Copies of this chain bind each other. A is one copy, B any other.
């Protein structure tokens, strides 16, 4: 089998250990997404790095281009993230186009790097706007370094290629010299390097990388970054990490930071970090996240808003924030062994993150609102009305690339002699447990279908299996060798002792009827409305699927939904019968004079949220007014 993408190695103190490779996706949804990524998205991205100037920015430093510097100050990070994706994919199998990019980019970075290890084209150029390390608040040098380090780890793990690692290590060594030690000060305005450095520590065993990551975490919260336009909270620099119980500020920054904090915890065992992370996690999932797993509701500062400030129509819910939430969820799971963290991971993956890319794999949403009105007035670069084929601030597309290229790294983990399945998709999973080696074939159409069939290919006596049962499952059944077994569901996990014996077949069946959901009464934006979810898949009304104006309807929440004829990659369309037309009337009117909904029942067609916007452009809404009379 191919070498599997494995972004995270087993940490020093995890409750569970990520697998050391050994997972290969089959022809399930995730496998198809990974193939689309390899065949379409990554080649598209490589082309854009050429046309948008990211590669020329590097070439000009060594006299191989006379193009002006283009893009934002963190333009290099798009190269690094693409390189990471390409490295994982070359690990899955050779490809001439991917290989050509890889070789050129690695050689280019090697030649561009300064003698002291510095590597950042925005600050190496003669016409730079600022000096190196002079503006940690907005300069993004450490952010770019983090992505370079993560790319180098992918190259090492997937290809056993040391060349990029040599470059990244010199960058990391420079960071250690510049920012390490108790006398130094400073930390990044955009967190990201923290978890890259911890992973580099895991790969190299060099403790100074962990130490400087920890220092970045420890120093943060002193207000040292300044207030900028949005205040210290934008940078999560208003309160120390250990004293913070809410999610605030720029969402991607907050979520990357928390992933880094989790990784520092996983190597230091500093419980005050885990305790702060648990409080913040609770704040996110109980007060500051969308049904889609999206986070960061505000456009202006791309920030988490107030508790329950979750507007559908202007949900910012950046694609990168969805990916960052997956990173954090995975680390919370590794830190605690609680399989239920996989729930938020899959919610984000199949909704806000999947929404970020078109069905054909070559166009992207930056923001992922839960509603688009007809005649939407955008006027902004990060259009919410249609996926664009690239962005001036192109953080999201290559982030999707590296995510799909390494998604098999998040399916399972090991705990002693127990293999834990966190995400279900068609895959072959091989793992070394404490007592020996196991290999399984997972066969399922999940998340379109709740049935998961696990065939044990190789096992040993005492090898156990744990299965995540998502909170949305309205019921579940499990059988071993054809015989139903009863296992207590605890913390979202079913534990099956000693079942991993060659030849055994374990079957899990999760009930996933379409469910009608309501929001907390404090979410003003969804009051009086309901949403539909089937398994982890959130549904929406799209205008193109419906004849009636979807902004003037209401549904009867008590009526069951039926599966429609049409299928989408994320499940069948659903049909709500007994809906009604509900006219608007005056902008504001006396309550006694409010218009009545029509008596004539109509049928509405719903589709998986992440599949909207692939056809005719038009209105969309996840939350649908509920009839109350």
A interface list, Cβ under 8 A from B: 229-234, 246, 248-249, 285-287, 289, 291, 298-301, 303-309, 311-314, 371, 373-381, 515-531, 551-552, 554, 557-558, 582-592, 594-595, 623, 625-626, 628
A85 smallest CB distance to B (angstroms): 29
Q: Which of B249, B379, B515, B552 contacts A230 (CB 8 A)?
A: B379
**Cβ–Cβ contact B591 & A521, under 8 A:** no
Q: Which of B286, B300, B311 contacts A380 (CB 8 A)?
A: B300
Chain B residues whose CB sits within 8 angstroms of the CB of A298 once the complex forms: 299, 314
Chain B residues whose CB sits within 8 angstroms of the CB of A520 once the complex forms: 584-589
Q: Give the interface centre of A519, A526, A623 by most chain B CB atoms within 10 Å.
A: A519
**Cβ–Cβ contact B313 & A588, under 8 A:** no
**Cβ–Cβ contact B524 & A312, under 8 A:** yes
Question: How many copies of this protein are present in the complex?
Answer: 2
Contact of A309 with B305 at beta-carbon distance under 8 Å, contacts A522-B552, A524-B371, A588-B517 already known: no
**Cβ–Cβ contact B308 & A373, under 8 A:** yes
A-B contact pairs, 11 of them (CB 8 A): A230-B379, A230-B380, A234-B379, A285-B587, A286-B587, A308-B551, A311-B525, A518-B591, A520-B587, A522-B584, A530-B591
Chain B residues whose CB sits within 8 angstroms of the CB of A591 once the complex forms: 516-518, 530, 557-558, 626
**Cβ–Cβ contact B305 & A314, under 8 A:** yes
In the assembled complex, the Cα of A266 lies from the Cα of B285 at a distance in Å of 57
A15 smallest CB distance to B (angstroms): 26
A150 smallest CB distance to B (angstroms): 29
Q: Which of B229, B248, B583, B585 contacts A377 (CB 8 A)?
A: B248
**Cβ–Cβ contact B587 & A373, under 8 A:** no
Chain B residues whose CB sits within 8 angstroms of the CB of A373 once the complex forms: 306-309
Beyond A298-B314, A311-B311, 13 additional pairs, beta carbon < 8 A: A229-B381, A289-B587, A517-B590, A518-B591, A518-B594, A521-B554, A521-B583, A523-B587, A527-B527, A527-B529, A527-B625, A528-B528, A531-B588
In the assembled complex, the Cα of A617 lies from the Cα of B359 at a distance in Å of 48
**Cβ–Cβ contact A313 & B306, under 8 A:** yes
